[in-house]
């Protein structure tokens, strides 16, 4: 029997090359390859879509966060979840800030505001929260805590372009929200990041900061980065943005079908809770495998899927507090973080995945469940 093709965990949803060609040609012919007309157009369209005063396109989410944290003058400790992508802690490391890891909510996998408040010390300067897999954090509670304790509030919104909280797009909350447009994200530019903020001073800082810190006089009052977005990346982003509504809809439809069918096959399987007043992007489709209830582990299921050519990922394992880079961190109790990091598995999902492939994942899961019952 011929081995079926591998189903990748994700792929960027792109148009045929001809859609990009004339934009690349125009950039080449203009002789202006970075932070020019396409970047400006991309930023304007993003600001409009997000309903935010300022958008600054940068070379990555990581670079955007490095500049935002520097621009807000953060010092000492920053409270953040340990259950987030391993790179989320890097902007702290590069700014000499100490991460303080707070536990998460068992249902939504986002940082638990009560755990955050307990960890506030005289050295705390900010709360830095991730919208996990596109599910918005408890923004109201975090905003209240940040105001009460005079802390800055920043969101790692890498997963959440297209998510909403109480009807408002993610992008305008806190002091700043930073998106990634790397190829695994729903909105993509190839590589890139987007800083969204209603703080004009911060936006001006990031704008200079992405260009070495140059204030326009070639003086460098602050140490910036080389973190511009090229015209080619912005052109890809403009097209990705115009396809976003359609792509999100396809993605959410596939996720709903997958969730329904998996639940029908195994009603005791758990899923990330999406609070009723929010919309997620399903940047990742994550299942929660409780071995005490199901009699098998997340790792058993991953090994099985792997043998069937279905690529899955243990997002986010190990959690940050177990990485050597973050050993200097302070931390609260991370009981739920540990359990969730050990039990969740992300299944393949991308905007143009076929229903055939989704059904193959469902069929293989059915085989797995049946084999378990027999043995
Ligand atoms: C992808 C990702 C990042 C890093 O984004 P880059 O644009 O590659 O720097 C940061 N945080 C989270 C949660 C991510 O998923």
Residue by residue, DSSP assigns 24-76 as HHHHHHHT--BSSHHHHHHHHHHHHHHT-SEEEEES-HHHHHHHHHHHTT--S
Strand partners, 108: none
- pLDDT number for residue 222: 84
- pLDDT number for residue 54: 98
Ligand 1 atom closest to Cα of residue 180: 7
pLDDT level of residue 373 (50, 70, 90 thresholds): confident
Q: Is the CB of 105 under 6 A from ligand 1?
A: no
Report d(CA 337, CA 85) in Å as an integer: 13
Q: Is the pLDDT of residue 168 over 90?
A: yes
pLDDT level of residue 2 (50, 70, 90 thresholds): low
Mutation pick for ligand 1 pocket among 158, 210, 237 (CB with most ligand atoms within 8 Å): 158
Cβ neighbours of residue 141 closer than 8 Å, sequence gap 6 or more? 113
Cβ neighbours of residue 104 closer than 8 Å, sequence gap 6 or more? 81, 83, 110, 111, 112, 115, 132, 336, 337, 340
Ligand 1 atom closest to Cα of residue 63: 9
Per residue in 24-72, pLDDT (tens digit) is 999 999 999 999 999 999 999 999 999 999 999 999 999 999 999 999 9
Classify residue 245 as exposed, middle or buried by CB count within 10 Å of its CB (0-12, 13-18, 19+): exposed
Q: Is the CB of 133 under 6 A from ligand 1?
A: no
Ligand 1 atom closest to Cα of residue 84: 13
List Cα–Cα distances, 246 to 80, 96, 157, 162, 352, in angstroms.
33, 41, 20, 11, 10
Mutation pick for ligand 1 pocket among 9, 69, 85 (CB with most ligand atoms within 8 Å): 85
Ligand 1 atom closest to Cα of residue 182: 7
Q: Is the CB of 193 under 6 A from ligand 1?
A: yes
Mutation pick for ligand 1 pocket among 59, 81, 87 (CB with most ligand atoms within 8 Å): 87
Instruction: Give the 3-state secondary structure of 124-135.
Output: EEEEEEECHHHC
**Cis-peptide into 220, omega within 30 deg:** no
Report d(CA 212, CA 201) in Å as an integer: 17
CA of 16 to the centre of ligand 1 (A): 26
List Cα–Cα distances, 244 to 67, 317, 348, in angstroms.
27, 29, 19
Among candidates 305, 95, 282, which has minimal Cα distance to 186? 282
- What percentage of the chain carries pLDDT values higher than 70? 99
Report d(CA 128, CA 134) in Å as an integer: 15
Residue position matching structure tokens 């792509």: 247
* 281-308 average pLDDT score: 98
pTM for this structure?
Answer: 0.97
pLDDT level of residue 217 (50, 70, 90 thresholds): confident
Per residue in 273-292, pLDDT (tens digit) is 999 999 999 999 999 999 99
Q: Where are the beta strands (DSSP E) in 76-158?
A: 77-81, 98-102, 124-130, 152-156
**Cis-peptide into 316, omega within 30 deg:** yes
Report d(CA 175, CA 53) in Å as an integer: 12
């Amino acid at each position: 029997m011929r081995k079926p093709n591998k189903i990748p965990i994700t792929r960027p949803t792109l148009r045929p090359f001809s859609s990009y060609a004339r934009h690349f040609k125009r950039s080449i012919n203009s002789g202006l390859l970075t932070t020019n007309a396409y970047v400006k157009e991309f930023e304007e369209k993003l600001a409009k879509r997000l309903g935010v005063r300022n958008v600054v396109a940068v070379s990555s989410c990581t670079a955007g966060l490095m500049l935002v944290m520097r621009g807000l003058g953060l010092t000492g400790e920053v409270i953040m979840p340990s259950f987030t992508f391993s790179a989320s802690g890097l902007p702290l490391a590069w700014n000499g800030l100490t991460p303080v890891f707070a536990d998460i909510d068992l249902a939504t996998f986002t940082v638990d505001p009560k755990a955050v408040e307990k960890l506030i010390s005289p050295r705390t300067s900010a709360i830095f929260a991730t919208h996990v897999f596109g599910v918005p954090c408890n923004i109201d509670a975090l905003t209240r805590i940040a105001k009460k304790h005079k802390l800055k509030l920043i969101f790692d919104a890498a997963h959440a372009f297209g998510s909403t909280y109480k009807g408002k797009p993610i992008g305008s909350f806190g002091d700043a929200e930073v998106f990634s447009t790397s190829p695994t994200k729903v909105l993509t530019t190839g590589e890139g990041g987007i800083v969204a903020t209603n703080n004009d001073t911060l936006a001006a800082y990031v704008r200079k900061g992405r260009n070495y810190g140059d204030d326009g006089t070639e003086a460098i009052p602050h140490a910036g980065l080389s973190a511009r977005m090229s015209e080619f990346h912005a052109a890809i982003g403009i097209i990705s943005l115009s396809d976003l509504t359609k792509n999100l809809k396809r993605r959410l439809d596939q996720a709903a079908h997958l969730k329904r069918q998996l639940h029908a096959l195994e009603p005791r399987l758990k899923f990330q809770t999406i609070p009723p007043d929010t919309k997620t992007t399903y940047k990742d489709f994550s299942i929660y495998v409780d071995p005490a209830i199901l009699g098998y582990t997340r790792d058993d299921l991953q090994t099985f899927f792997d043998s069937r050519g279905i690529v899955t990922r243990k997002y986010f394992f190990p959690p940050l507090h177990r990485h050597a880079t973050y050993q200097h961190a302070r931390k609260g109790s991370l009981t739920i973080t540990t359990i969730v990091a050990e039990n969740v598995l992300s299944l393949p999902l991308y905007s143009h995945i076929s229903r055939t492939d989704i059904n193959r994942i469902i069929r293989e899961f059915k085989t797995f469940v049946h084999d378990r019952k027999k043995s």
